[in-house]
Amino acid sequence: MDFPQYRKRFDEKSFYKILNERQMEEVQIIGDKAFKHVLNADKYFEIVLLQDILSGNNGIYLPIEENEYAIKEKSISTK
């Protein structure tokens, strides 16, 4: 699999840039604000979460294009 990969949750509350099998960035939408989180998957739960996001987990996580992630990343709150 080539990286980065881009995904979003079906409800469009989280957008993911998966850098490799152990690292990702998440843009999380809460209300009208966006926040960015970086995850380095060191624990089993985090590794499984990354695998679920990549696999789609039965339609929960959907593939997106890089530009859709970039648009959400630009809306990140600074406060």
Residues of the chain with pLDDT under 50: none
Q: Residue 5's pLDDT is what?
A: 97
* Residue 50 in domain: yes
Mean per-residue pLDDT of the chain:
94
Is 36 a member of any domain? yes
User: Whole-prediction pTM value?
Assistant: 0.90
- Residue 44: which domain range? 5-74
Q: How many domains does the chain have?
A: 1
Write the secondary structure of the chain as one string of H (helix), E (strand) and C (coil). Answer: CCCCEEEEECCCCEEEEEEECCEEEEEEEECCEEEEEEEECCCHHHHHHHHHHHHCCCCCEEECCHHHHHHHHHCECCC
Q: Quick check: is 79 in a domain? A: no
Question: Could you count the other beta carbons within 10 Å of the beta carbon of residue 53?
Answer: 20
Give pLDDT, residue 79: 56
Rounded to whole angstroms, the Cα distance separating 79 from 68 reads: 23
pLDDT the model gives residue 43: 97
Residue 60 lies in a domain: yes
β-strands 14-20, 23-30 pairing: antiparallel
The predicted-structure confidence for 26-47, as pLDDT tens digits, reads as follows 999 999 899 999 999 999 999 9
Report if residue 41 sits inside a domain.
yes
